[in-house]
A and B are shown apart, each in its own frame.
Chain A
Amino acid sequence: QVLLQESGPGLVKPSETLSLTCTVSGDSVSSAYYWGWIRQPPGKGLEWIGVVWHDVNSYYNPSLESRVSISIDTSTNQFSLRLRSVTAADTAVYYCARRHQLGIGQWGQFDYWGQGILVAVSS
Chain B
Amino acid sequence: DIQMTQSPSALSAAVGDRVSFTCRASQNINSYLNWYQHQPGKAPRLLIFAASRLQSGVPSRFSASGSGTDFTLTITSLESEDYATYYCQQSYSSPYTFGQGTKLDLK
Contacts and interface: CB of A to CB of B under 8 A. Distances in A.
Interface string B86-107: 0101010011111111000000
A109 B101 contact: no
Contact of B97 (A48, A95, A107, A108): A48
B22 interface: no
Interface stretch (B10-18, B44-52, B65-73, B74-82): B44-52
Could you tell me the dominant secondary structure of chain B's interface residues? loop
A108 B95 contact: no
Contact of A62 (B43, B91, B95): B95
A44 B97 CA distance: 13
Interface in A30-76: 38, 44-48, 59, 61-63
Contact of B55 (A38, A61, A102, A111): A111
B34 A47 contact: no
B46 A115 contact: no
Contact of A107 (B36, B91, B98): B91
Given A48-B97, A95-B43, A107 B50 contact: yes
Range of interface residues on B (Cβ < 8 Å): 20 to 34
Residue from the set B31, B43, B87 with the largest chain A CB neighbour count within 10 Å: B43
25 contacts: A38-B44, A38-B98, A45-B98, A45-B99, A45-B100, A46-B38, A46-B89, A47-B98, A48-B95, A62-B94, A107-B31, A107-B49, A107-B50, A107-B53, A107-B91, A108-B91, A109-B34, A109-B49, A109-B89, A110-B36, A110-B89, A111-B46, A114-B43, A115-B42, A116-B43
Interface of A: 4, 38, 44-48, 59, 61-63, 95, 97, 100, 102, 107-111, 113-116
